Amino acid sequence: MSPKKLFQLRRLLKWQEIVMLIIILNACLFLPTIYSEIQVEDYSLDRIVEGGLAMINEQTASALKQGEIRNNHYTGQHMAKSSQEGKILVLPNQDSIEQINQEETPSLILTGDQWIFHYGPDKSITFPVYGENIECTKWTSDDEVKKFVNQQWFLSNKKTVILYLLMVAMALFMGNSLFLVILGGFFLSLVKKSKLFHIRGFKEGVSLMVGCLGLPTLLAAASGFIFKSPILMLNVQMIGTILMVVLVFYKTQFRDPLIEEN
């Protein structure tokens, strides 16, 4: 759609049509995000719980560098290690688990069939042990141990993590679109008392912003399929929309007579 037609469109859209267009445009942004997120194979627990796996360090990781996992079950020796960042307990008894559950100190507990990540009194995350033929003695670095434990958590919570990421992306996209449309519409409506321009109110300003949002949003969606970066998509949408408003002004000076003459 040409800049002149976009300017004409400002008087034709109704509020329900404006809302529907915003929803449709955000759905276009959401498609590459869904495609990208369903392919996620790992996500750090530290991004959800601050310092989530900090207790796995050079003082404590050795507790997990022994034993083996067979048929989703861990066998090994009872061990307990602690550091300033937290504790790791391997195959503890039930009394130890209950005692840890009342402490403030972050702890990671490995029983035969499950992991228990404890991060405060009566606050814990439990997830199953996964693995068919894993020799824990082969881990040579603390990072390998941390990566394995994180992967165990992710396998158990993959659907929840993907849903969380999609909700965050949806909130970002919708927030960015509403920010552009509402703020841009407000500033455009400030010229309504001027005889130099023909934008007559907030609704016309919002309608114009929605029209200018269309092409940049489609370009942002295309960039999402290629680069898989939500931040890049937001930047493409924002910068593109601003450039579209500038282009409409350049072609029309926000005046109807110039359109009619052409």
Q: Among 14-23, 36-45, 178-187, 249-258, where is mean pLDDT lowest?
A: 249-258
Per-residue confidence (pLDDT) for residue 48, from 0 to 100: 84
135: helix, strand or coil: strand
Do 146 and 68 have their domain in common? yes
Do 54 and 150 have their domain in common? yes
Q: Which among 156, 187, 207 is the end of a domain?
A: 156
Return contacts of 176-180, CB within 8 angstroms, 24+ apart.
176/234, 176/237, 176/238, 177/22, 177/25, 177/26, 177/213, 177/217, 177/237, 178/22, 180/209, 180/213, 180/237, 180/238, 180/241
Q: Return the structure tokens found at 7.
A: 């300017």
Per-residue confidence (pLDDT) for residue 92, from 0 to 100: 96
- In tens, the pLDDT along 177-197 reads 999 999 999 999 998 888 889
- In tens, the pLDDT along 210-236 reads 999 999 999 999 999 999 999 999 999
C-alpha to C-alpha distance for 257 and 262, rounded to whole angstroms: 9
- In tens, the pLDDT along 139-192 reads 999 999 999 999 999 999 999 999 999 999 999 999 999 999 999 999 999 988
Do 60 and 145 have their domain in common? yes
Q: What is the pTM of this model?
A: 0.82
C-alpha to C-alpha distance for 236 and 219, rounded to whole angstroms: 7
Q: Which among 156, 182, 212 is the end of a domain?
A: 156
Instruction: Supply the range of the domain harboring residue 20.
Output: 3-39+162-261
Q: Return the structure tokens found at 218.
A: 């489609």
Per-residue confidence (pLDDT) for residue 51, from 0 to 100: 78
Per-residue confidence (pLDDT) for residue 119, from 0 to 100: 87
pLDDT at 257 over 80: no
Per-residue confidence (pLDDT) for residue 259, from 0 to 100: 43
Q: Which among 135, 156, 177 is the end of a domain?
A: 156
Q: Answer whether residue 138 is part of any domain.
A: yes
Mean of pLDDT over the chain: 93
Do 113 and 169 have their domain in common? no
